[in-house]
Amino acid sequence: MVREVALAEALDCFLCGRPLGRRVEWHHPVPKSRGGRETVPIHPICHRTIHAVIDNKDLERDYATPAALKAHPDIAKFLEWVRNKPPDFHAPTRRRR
């Protein structure tokens, strides 16, 4: 789900904690398909990375919190790479094989 947020600069990303930019997506920590209702603001690149690395069943069971996501080795590697990028940074996201 994508929404333009006027005050996005005042929000931080659910995953990486960096300030959000002009484009904000809304992530269901517990996937909607698994009964999740809550949404949290997130960078598009962070959102795509989560879904490229972890399937919905595992998200619901093991990775519904930022701390749990950050403990995943592939997410941790991504976070190290993206930590100094500007809020509106974008790059293609590859799915895990």
List the chain domain ranges.
Answer: 2-82
Arithmetic mean of pLDDT, 34-63: 94
- What would the pLDDT profile of 49-88 be if each residue is shown by its tens digit? 999 999 999 999 999 999 999 999 999 999 999 999 999 9
Give me the long-range contacts of 72-78 (CB less than 8 A, separation at least 24): 75/15, 75/49, 75/50, 78/46, 78/49, 78/53
Backbone angles phi, psi at 4, to 5 degrees: -85, 130
3 state SS of 33: helix
